[in-house]
Structures are given as structure tokens and as C-alpha cells.
Structure 1
Amino acid sequence: MDWYMFTEELARMQCSPAGPLMDIKLTSGELEEIHLPHFLCLGGVEAAHNAVRLLHAQDSGVYLETCTVTQHHASLLQPSLSLLGPVYYLLDLLSPKVHCQLLLFYQRTTILKLRTYLVLNNQEHIDAIHKQEENWKGERIKRNSTVGSPLRLGDTFHVMTSCPSKIDPGEVKLVPDKVGSMGNFCVVSFNIKHPEESFDVQVKRPQHEDPIWKISVEKEDYSPPSTSPNLHSTSSSTKTQTVDLFSTFDELQEKELKRFKAYLSLENMEGFERIPRGQLEKWDATDLATRMTERYEKEGAVRMTLTILRKMELNDLANRLEESITLTGQ
């Protein structure tokens, strides 16, 4: 389920999601109590616990229910089941601490491509990242993914390696997730032409000496390089890429295109810089394909498009785009 459907309600209530939104049904019997996971680190502060509620969506409307909050769950006695999810009041928790994980994936072509995800400790988000990487043929480098200490929403972080690499973006910011079930994660991509036998990957706060997370990547952690005899030139590849995106956007209905643009205007979408809503409103499908390719380069434009299409549950369209990119050797 996607928090997107409650964007207006969350804004009106001045709340932000604190965990997954679940559609819960009971086939038989009675439910005495339900425990829903959250990613907040509240400590023993009573005021912080009081800022957490369960959003309950029924046919009659959307309500906030008082709940009991433990270290990792929000519980409710004798609940009436439908759509349920934990939220917190933004005015009471301006910059809460959250539990996070760091996931590292790689792709090996003529160079080593790594993607590092700083993600809330939310299994729904983590599963979505794994599914996305599966579609991209990414492989997980399995290391301890838990960030030792809670992080504060709004903090900025840098990802770096001990060997020369091209890193994009240079820094990421962990921001509240207000609309998307997968929106709250930071992704940093970096390309390494000549990886060393082993090298370190670490995540640090600016002006802090100690990293919040650090691992050593060994040569056996990633597969040997593969070669492709039919590589396209960069200019030809980019041109084909833009045509594929245009064909995809041209299939969107007016409301779907408007919703797609709304996602592009969000902070932290795929770790890329947002596009101001005022610019997006002026662009048709052709402009959108061209501008996204110019702004995010071909790989980033496709990656963001596939993510948004799947968030919109337009999986068939996403699969066709992905297939067309694969067939043309992108």
C-alpha cells in the first residue's frame, strides 16, 4: 500500500508516516491486539511517545487513534481492521531520530558500479529496493547493514571510497517521507574503473571524523568483468534513450502524467535533485523526456522513471520500458 493516497489528509493533520501502511484483514475469529512496526527512536521520552498515532482509514473517513508505543511497534487493542499505519505529529517531533540500514549493491560491466542506499529500518522500503535492484540486475554485497546509532531526520551524509571513484550525488539528506511508500531513502551511485584488491566504503556526517557505517569490499565480493561486443556510442545511446522515455510518457493519460510530475518534484526521489513544480508544469511528454535525460543522464533518467511508474502501479508500462532498454543495449 502507498501513503500517497493520503497526501492531503497527512498535510491537514500535520503528520508524517512512521512505518508501513498495511491493509489488514481477518478471515476468522477476533483480534485482541495488533502490533505495527515503526522506525522511530523515541527513547524513554513520554512526550515523544505521545506524538505517535495510528492512522485508520475506513469508508466513513480517516482517523487518528491513540496507541501504545514500544521500542519498535505501535500497538492497538481490539482494532477494527482496514488500512492502518503509524504516523507522528510533525509539530511534536520536528527532527526525530530514526533507525536506519545501509544496503550496498553492485553491477559489473566494463567498470564496477556500486549503489549505496541509506534507508529507514522499514521492511517495506527494504523489500522495494531489493525488487528494484533485481530488475536492474544488481547484486547485493552482503555485509552488516545496521547503522549502529540512530540518525536524525534532516541530517546530511557523505558516501566515500578509499579508491578513486566518481560519486553522484556528493551528499545526501535524510528527509521525512510524506507521500511515498518507498520515498524515504538516499541512494548514492559511484563508478570505479580500476577497483583495488580491497577498498573501503564509508558513510560520514560532514565535519565528523568517525563514520556512521564502514565496510571493506574484497575482490571476491563482486563478479568478474563482463564484456559486450555490441556497445553503442554515447550519443546514439542517449538519443535512443530519449526516444524510449518519450514513448513511455506518451502512453500516460493526463492525470497519470500529472502524478508522475508530482513525484519528480519531491525531495529525495531516487537520491536526485528535485525538479521545481513550476518548471514541470510547462513540460509536455517530449520536453519531459529530453529534460530528464539532460538533467539526470541516461541511466539516472531511466532509473527514476522505472521507480515512479512502479510506485504508480503502472508495472506493465515499466516492464516494457525496461525491455526496450535491454534490447537496445542500454
Structure 2
Amino acid sequence: MLKTVEFHWRNTGKTHLTLHVYLIPNDNTLEKAVNKKEGTNMLIDKPRPVHPLPVNTWFTLTPPKKSEIHYQIKPESLKLDYTKNFFEVFVESPKKDFSLQLKPKEKDEEVVWDVSIRKGDYKQIASTVDGHTSARLTGTESVSDILLECLEELESKEWDKFKWNLTKDSFQGKDKIPRSKLEDKEIWDIVTCMIEHYQVDGAVKVTLMVLKMMKQNHLAEQLQEKYRQFKQAAFMVNT
């Protein structure tokens, strides 16, 4: 049975919000492991589903059908089991309250959990680094935010050139990323793809190499400095 649904959020002062939504069975050890994994990411406490949910069942997490807010939710479905997997919910410009609904994958019309996320639920806990507000976070997802912020600075034509270079050459001793994986993808999708393909440190190095190939040296220097600060902060938190 499902014990709890946990939200962990992060915000880097940009206009987007990212939530990690965990489905956790009745296992205190697993719940503690999730909290440790999320580190300083803020926990949003919400009511559990009214009725128990069976383990090894697949679920989807979606916004209401008439929602006006732009969402990206991955993966499309998640199995309630004893792994520490989660739904990642990317909300662009969360200027108002919004809702999420959990449904069994095989029964798409059956809502087993309906929750509202209010602006007061995700007040930012932040530190100031180099004049910019950023959440103090550790782990893979924080690197995603650093890369996302960097690549958002590219203009449309430069962004197309970045994607072209990313598929044109192989980096870090790995095969090229297939062009089909990047076609019609948003920036955050490509950041996720780079991290999955090259791992965390490799994704940063590849981004730096491509930016320098494009003569985007100033942007590369900014990324390098932010990543250095991130690793230093992560070391301080972990020690």
C-alpha cells in the first residue's frame, strides 16, 4: 500500500519551478532514503490519498484537463514500488496555484489523488551567489538547473547551432547523440538527454566544449564558474 506522496521542490530564482513527486510504499527506511537523497530540497507536505493504493501498480500524474499552466511531467507513468524513482514536474511561470491528479495507468478516468499546490507551499529557501539568487542544492538535478540557465541565454539561431554541434561530433569517448533524440525538443529535454548520455560532469564538459566551438566564450566562462561554485557548495554541505 502507498504510505505517502512526497513533494520536493527546487527553485533557482528563474521563472520555472521543478517538483519531484515520489510514490512511497509503507516503508520507513525508504522514506528516510528519499529524504536523504533530496538533501536540502524543500519538502511540501500534502494529504495522502484517501484509499490505499496497491504496490506494483502503474500510475500517471497529470494536470486537470482544463489547466491553463504549462507543464512538463516525466516519466509518463511510474510504478509504485520500492525504488526511489519519482515524477519530475516542470512548471513554467507558476504565477498562480495549480493542481495535479494521480490516476491508475489502466483507468485513466479514475482520479485516486487530487492535490493543489499553492504559491505559499514553495517559498524559496535560498542563498545569494555572485549577485544572483539560487537555491542551495546538491545532486544531479541542480546541475540540470545550472545547464538550463546557461543555455537559456542562447538566441534561437545559436540554440539551433548548439544542437547541431551536439549531434555532429562525439564527445567524452561516447557515441554521438542521435539527431532524432533532439528534434523538436525543448531546452530542458536536451539537458536531461545530455546528462543521461554523458553523466553529470560529462554533460557540463560537453556543454563547455560546444560553447567554445561556437565562440560563446563568455557564456562558457559563466557556466564554468557557476559549476565550480556548485561543486564547492556541494562539498561543504556533504562535509
Unaligned runs of 5+ in 1: 1-97, 178-183, 236-284, 303-322
Q: Equivalents in 1 of 2:11, 2:121: separation in Å?
A: 11
Superposition deviation, residue 329 in structure 1: 9.8
Q: Which residue of 1 aligns with 2:60?
A: 158
Q: Does 1:130 align with 2:35?
A: yes
For residues 295 and 153 of structure 1, what CA distance do their matches in structure 2 show?
32
Number of the residue aligned with 2:115: 215
Deviation of 1:107 (Å): 0.7
Q: Does the residue aligned with 2:85 lie in a helix, a strand or coil?
A: strand
- Aligned-pair identity (%): 19
* Aligned counterparts of 1:223 and 1:114: Cα–Cα separation in 2: 13
Of 132, 139, 143, which residue of structure 2 is paired with 1:228?
132
Q: Which residue of 2 aligns with 1:143?
A: 46
The structural deviation recorded for 1:148 is 2.7
CA–CA separation in structure 1 for the residues paired with 2:90 and 2:76: 13
CA contact (8 A) 1:119 1:186 kept: no
- The aligned amino acid for 2:113 is W
Equivalent residue letter for 1:169: P
In structure 2, C-alpha distance between the alignment counterparts of 1:186 and 1:223, rounded to whole Å: 24
Partner Cα separation in structure 1 for residue 133 and residue 191 of structure 2: 29
Map of 1:194-273 to 2, 5 A cutoff? 194-206=93-105, 207-224=107-124, 228=132, 233-234=150-151
- CA offsets per residue over residues 135-173 of structure 1, 9 Å max, x none? xx31111212x3332323332111123432111111112
Compared with structure 1, are the counterparts of its residues 294 and 200 closer, same or farther at alpha carbon in structure 2 (3 Å cutoff)?
closer
Q: Compute the displacement of 1:298 (Å).
A: 5.0
Cross-structure match for 2:183: none
TM-score (norm 1): 0.39
1:204 maps to a residue whose letter is: K
Matched residue SS, 2:86: strand
TM-align CA RMSD: 3.9
User: Does the Cα contact within 8 Å between 1:120 and 1:185 map onto a contact in 2?
Assistant: no
Aligned residue in 1 for 2:219: none
Q: Which of 76, 91, 104 is the matching residue for 2:7?
A: 104
Bigger RCO of structures 1 and 2 (CA < 8 A, at least 6 apart): 2
Distance, in Å, in 1 between the alignment partners of 2:31 and 2:194 is: 25
Cα distance change, pair 214–325 in 1 and its aligned pair in 2 (3 A): farther
Q: 1:209 to 1:190 in 2, by over 3 A?
A: same
CA distance in 1, matches of 2:84, 2:133: 35
Report the CA distance between 1:287 and its aligned residue.
4.0
Residues paired across the two proteins, number? 153
Residue 121 of structure 1 is matched in structure 2 by 26
Query: 1 CA distance for matches of 2:49 and 2:85?
Result: 14
Q: Distance in 1 between matches of 2:36 and 2:116?
A: 25
- Match of 2:35, SS? helix
Tell me if structure 1 keeps the 8 A contact 2:74–2:89. yes
In the other structure, the counterpart of 2:230 is 326
Q: Between Structure 1 and Structure 2, which shows a larger proportion of helix residues?
A: 2
Following superposition, the deviation at residue 215 of structure 1 comes to 1.4
CA distance in 2, matches of 1:329, 1:193: 27
Output the TM-score relative to the length of structure 2. Answer: 0.51
Classify the secondary structure of the residue corresponding to 1:129: helix
Amino acid at match of 1:218: R
Larger of the two Rg values belongs to structure: 1
Structure 2: which 5+ runs fail to align? 135-145, 153-171, 179-188, 201-226, 235-239
- Report the Cα distance in structure 2 between the residues aligned to 1:221 and 1:133, rounded to whole angstroms: 17
Letter in 2 for 1:219: K
Structure-2 residue corresponding to 1:173: 79
Measured in 1, the distance between the counterparts of 2:233 and 2:173 equals 22
